[in-house]
Structure 1
C-alpha cells in the first residue's frame, strides 16, 4: 500500500498540469494581497483628501461666523454642517473608538479658537477608523487637521455695537471730528447707521457699517475710496475680559466737602491725609484705589494709580473740579453712571498693569446708563472707554490738534464737540486694538 501511495505522489509531481495549478494557486496569494493593499491605499487617500477639503471649508466658515458675532456655539455648529456636507457620511467609515454602528456624523469635528500674534485662528480636527476592504488587514486610522487664520483689518477708533439703532454713530451740530488713520465702525443695519448732519465735519480713514451712511451736505473726507456699507458686524473685541467685583466702600469722611461729595473737613481722608476745615489755596486731596459708593469730585483731587470701582452711584467730575488720575482705571458697576462736565479740568491716563491695562473707563456689560464725557482745551483723556451696554456715549474731546489716544466702544456714540484721535497708541493702550475683519487664509 505504501508503494502505491509513493507511486501516486511521484506521478502527481511529474504531472505538468498539476504543477501549474499549484504554482498558480501559490502565486495568487501575494498578487491578491498586493492588489488589496493598493486598493485600500487608494481608498484611504481618497477619504483623507475628502476629509482635508471638508476640514478646510469647516475652519474657514467657522472663523468667519466667530469673527462676525463671537458666538462659539454657532460657529461650531456651522463647522460640523459644513464638514459633513463636504466629506459626506460614507458607509465604510466607522466612528473612531466606537463599538456601535452609529454613523460618522455622530462624531463631531473638534474645533478650537485661539490666536497667533494679531490673528484669530480656528483649528479643526477630525479622525476616523478605516476598515479594510479585504479580510485579514488591520484597520487604519485617518486623521487630518486644518488651521485657518483671520488677519486684522483696518483699526477702528470707535465701535458702535448696536445692531438696530438709528444713528448708532453720529456727528452732531457743528462738531468737527478727525480720526485720520483709523476707522469708525457701526454694527447697526439701519439706513442711517452712520449719520452726519449738514454742518458736521468728519475726516476719517474709512467708514464701516452693517447698514448705510447718511452724510448729505456734510463735510466728509475719507482716505479710502468710499464708505464700506452692508458689511458683517464686528464682535465685541473685549468680550472675554472679566469684570472685577466690588468690595467694602472706601470712606470719604474727612476728605473735605468742597473736594468730594459726602466729604467733611478736619478728619482722616481714607488713610491718605487729614483735610483741614479751611484748607489753603491750591490744597489737593488724595484718594486711593478701592470701591466707592459713588464718587463726585468737586475740587482739586489727585487719584493714586490703580482701580477705582464705582458701585451703583455716579462718577461725576463737577464744574470747577481739577482731577489728576494717571495710571487709573474706573469701573462702573451696578448701574453707576458717568458724568464728566466741560467745566472740569482733568488729566486721565489708563493703568498699564493687569487684565484691563490700557483701559481708562469700563462699564459693566449690563450697565445701560448713558454717559457724557465733555472735555476742554485744558483737559486730556487717554485710554479705552469701554461701555458695551451703554445706550449712548456723548463725547467731546479736548480739541487737541495733535490727537488723543482714545478708543470708544458703546451701543451708540454721539460726537458733540471737536475731537481728534491718534492712530499710533500701542504704548498707551497696552497693545489693545479694535480691528475690522480682514482676510481669512489657511495656515495648514
Structure 2
C-alpha cells in the first residue's frame, strides 16, 4: 500500500504535539509529587518535634520536683533534652526550644524553620513549625535513696548477687551510674541516674541522664570540734548474757557488743569517736536517738546480731538515726540478717553504706531514708524502704522523704 507524503507529515506532527503536551503535563505532575513528598516530610518533622517537647516537658517536670530542684537548671536540662531527641533533623530544619515553669505546670515550646518552595517564596520565608507541651506533677513521690558520689566514683548505687532494693513508693537516685548484676533487682516508684543505669531488674525502667540532686543536708554542721582529741584505750565490751544501758554522750572508746548481750542506747545524741561493733547474737536497741560517727568512728553489725534503732523525735537532729561527719570515709557495714528497724534518715555524705547479708534490712521501720556517697548491696541482701511517714513519731527532715520528690506526671496539652 502506498502512503502519501502529506499523510506521513500529518502523523509526525501529531506525535510531536503529543510529546510536547506530555512534557508540559509532566512538569506540574512532578511538582505535585515533589510537593506531596515535602508535605509528608513536613508532617513527620512536626510529629517528631511534638514528641520531643512532650518528652522534655515530662522530664523537666520530674527534675524540677526532685529535692533541691528549684536550685538546679531544670529549664536548661529540658531544652537540651528536647534538642537531643531530634538532632537528625538539624540538617534541614533550624530548631530552637525554650522551657519554663508556669502556673499551669512545666512548659516546653519549640520552633522549627525549614526551606519552602520556589526559594522560600511559597510560603514566604519557609515553613514554620511550632509545637508546645505542658506537663504537671499529679502527686509527690518522696526521695528515699540518694547516692552522692563524686566524679572519681563511677557507680553510686550497686546491687549484685541476688540482692535487692524494695522502695515501692519513692525515688531512688544516683548522682553517677547505677548497676545491677547477677539477678539483683531494684523496685521503686521512680529510678533514675545522672549517668547510666546498667543491668536488668529495674521496675519501672530506670531513667538515664537525670540532673544531679544536690545534697539536701550540705549546710549542716556535724562535727564536734576537739571532743575526740583524747581517746580512752580501754574498750567497753558487753558480752555473754549481760545487758547494759548507755547514756547519750561523747563515746571516746571502742564499744563491742557480742555473745547474747544487749546494749540499750538511751535517748539523745550519741557521738562516737571510735567504732561501734555488734557481733554474734547480740542486740543493739534504742529509741529517740541519733548515732553520730566522727572521722574515725565506724558502725558494723555482723553475724546474727539484732539491730532496732529509732531516730530522734525532736532537737537539731530530729528525723536522723545514723550520721557520719564529712571527713569520715569508712564503710558503715550491715552484715547481719536481723537489722529490723532503722527508722529515720541515714546520712553519711562521704562514707559508703554496705549491706551484704541475706535477709531484709529496715523492713519494720515506718520509714527510712538513705543518703550516702555510695550504697552497695551484695549476697542476697534486701533493703526495704517504707514510706509511712504519718504513722511515725519521727519527723522527716526537710529535703527528703515526703518533704520533697517527684510525683506522677501527665501532659496537660
- In the other structure, the counterpart of 1:93 is none
- TM superposition outliers: structure 1 runs of 4+ over 6 Å: 249-256
For the 8 Å contact 1:246–1:309, the answer to whether it is kept is no
Unaligned stretches of 5+ in structure 1? 1-62, 79-149, 260-280, 440-444
TM-score under structure 1 length normalisation: 0.53
Cα distance change of structure 1 residues 246 and 257 upon mapping to structure 2, 3 Å threshold: same
Offset of 1:403 from its aligned partner? 5.4
For the 8 Å contact 1:294–1:315, the answer to whether it is kept is no
Which deviations, in whole Å up to 9, do the C-alpha atoms of 1:135-166 show, x marking residues without a partner? xxxxxxxxxxxxxxx99963222100114332
Query: Secondary structure of 1:320's partner?
Result: coil
Query: Secondary structure of 1:168's partner?
Result: strand
Given candidates 292, 295, 317, the residue that maps to 2:278 is 317
Query: Secondary structure of 1:154's partner?
Result: coil
Given candidates 127, 141, 145, the residue that maps to 1:158 is 145
Offset of 1:387 from its aligned partner? 0.2
Query: Secondary structure of 2:169's partner?
Result: coil
Cα distance change of structure 1 residues 310 and 377 upon mapping to structure 2, 3 Å threshold: closer
- In the other structure, the counterpart of 1:415 is 377
| CA–CA distance in structure 1, aligned partners of residues 372 and 279 of structure 2 | 23
| CA–CA distance in structure 1, aligned partners of residues 339 and 332 of structure 2 | 21
Given candidates 166, 174, 180, the residue that maps to 2:168 is 180
Q: More strand by proportion, 1 or 2?
A: 2
| CA–CA distance in structure 2, aligned partners of residues 315 and 415 of structure 1 | 21
Tell me the matched-pair count. Answer: 270
| CA–CA distance in structure 2, aligned partners of residues 212 and 253 of structure 1 | 46
TM-score under structure 2 length normalisation: 0.57
For the 8 Å contact 1:382–1:428, the answer to whether it is kept is no
Cα distance change of structure 1 residues 361 and 233 upon mapping to structure 2, 3 Å threshold: same
Query: Secondary structure of 1:240's partner?
Result: coil
Offset of 1:256 from its aligned partner? 6.8
Work out which structure has the larger RCO, using CA pairs closer than 8 Å and 6 or more positions apart in sequence: 2
For the 8 Å contact 1:303–1:326, the answer to whether it is kept is yes
Do residues 235 (structure 1) and 214 (structure 2) align?
yes
- In the other structure, the counterpart of 1:337 is 298
Query: Secondary structure of 1:430's partner?
Result: coil
Query: Secondary structure of 1:330's partner?
Result: strand
Offset of 1:379 from its aligned partner? 3.5
Q: What are the residue-to-residue correspondences of 1:349-388 with 2, within 5 Å? A: 349-377=310-338, 379-388=340-349
| CA–CA distance in structure 1, aligned partners of residues 360 and 343 of structure 2 | 13
| CA–CA distance in structure 1, aligned partners of residues 198 and 297 of structure 2 | 33
| CA–CA distance in structure 1, aligned partners of residues 70 and 253 of structure 2 | 34
- In the other structure, the counterpart of 1:209 is 193
Cα distance change of structure 1 residues 151 and 247 upon mapping to structure 2, 3 Å threshold: farther
RMSD: 3.6
| CA–CA distance in structure 2, aligned partners of residues 204 and 317 of structure 1 | 30
Offset of 1:244 from its aligned partner? 5.0
Cα distance change of structure 1 residues 357 and 388 upon mapping to structure 2, 3 Å threshold: same
Do residues 393 (structure 1) and 353 (structure 2) align?
yes
